Amino acid sequence: MEFDIMWTFILIFLMIFGLGLLIAGIFTVYFGSGKSRGIGAGLLVGGIVLALLVFLMDYMNIIMPADMYLWKDVVFPGLIWLGAAIVGGLAAVGMFLLAIMKS
């Protein structure tokens, strides 16, 4: 099975962008008032539409090669990479704070 990095990048970008819009929309609708709630609703709808678009592209094999599967080849490795990046970043910040607090 050939691993095509360009398609993986596009799908991870679209999924994370959609998730970011979704989360930002939820917080803006919940905590906002007036005009910002309307903007939050737009962000929320945009995130939902983008998520549905990604899964529709997976279902119809529009953006990915036929031998590439969304969960096994894109989402799961993306979560592993993202988790490793977060843990590594938190460890670096923790070491920095520990060094600063001890000095």
**26 pLDDT higher than 60:** yes
Average pLDDT of the chain is 80
CA distance 47 to 28: 13
**40 pLDDT higher than 70:** yes
Tokens of 39: 């903007």
Q: Please give the tally of structural domains in the chain.
A: 1
Full domain range(s) for residue 98 = 5-102
**37 pLDDT higher than 50:** yes
**Coil/strand/helix, residue 2:** coil
Q: What is the CA radius of gyration of the chain?
A: 18
CA distance 8 to 47: 19
**pTM, full prediction:** 0.62
pLDDT of residue 45: 92
**Coil/strand/helix, residue 5:** helix
